Amino acid sequence: WIGAGAGKSGITYNYYITYKHASCEIYLDRGKEFVEPNINKIRFDQLYKHKNKIEKEFGGKLNWYRLDDRRASAVNVRFEGIDLNDKEKWDKLQNKMIDTMIRLEKAFGKYIKSLE
């Protein structure tokens, strides 16, 4: 995986690739030390209020994971059936993931900026 900050502490844009699947995600995890222990769930809920607008701007459905039994939360797009042994498909997957991440950032950017 590789990630980059989304402009708010504890929120990152991440790429994940395994031999079986790949994904692009927004990951919310402010960490253990933060004063507000539920900040990740609060932020997730604030984003989820705009789910329809975000998905419309993104151009498709997203997977929303509040993860109530864990500290973090996430929103992602997952690509199944990846075969990293087939190097001929790497460029296509890379381009698909870059396009997806650009659309995620555009769809979520203004909502992330407004989070506490």
Contact present, 24 and 108 (Cβ < 8 Å): no
| pLDDT attached to residue 41 | 94
Q: What is the mean pLDDT of residues 25-38?
A: 81
Nearest to 76 by CA among 19, 9, 10, 26: 26
How many percent of the chain have pLDDT more than 70?
96
What is the dihedral angle through the alpha carbons of 20, 5, 42, 17, rounded to the nearest 10 degrees? Answer: 0
Output the pLDDT for position 44: 97
Greater confidence (36 vs 115) lies with: 115
β-partners of residue 3 are 14
CA distance 80 to 101: 16
pTM of the model: 0.90
State how far the Cα of 32 lies from the Cα of 113, in Å rounded to an integer.
22
Q: What is the pLDDT of residue 43?
A: 95
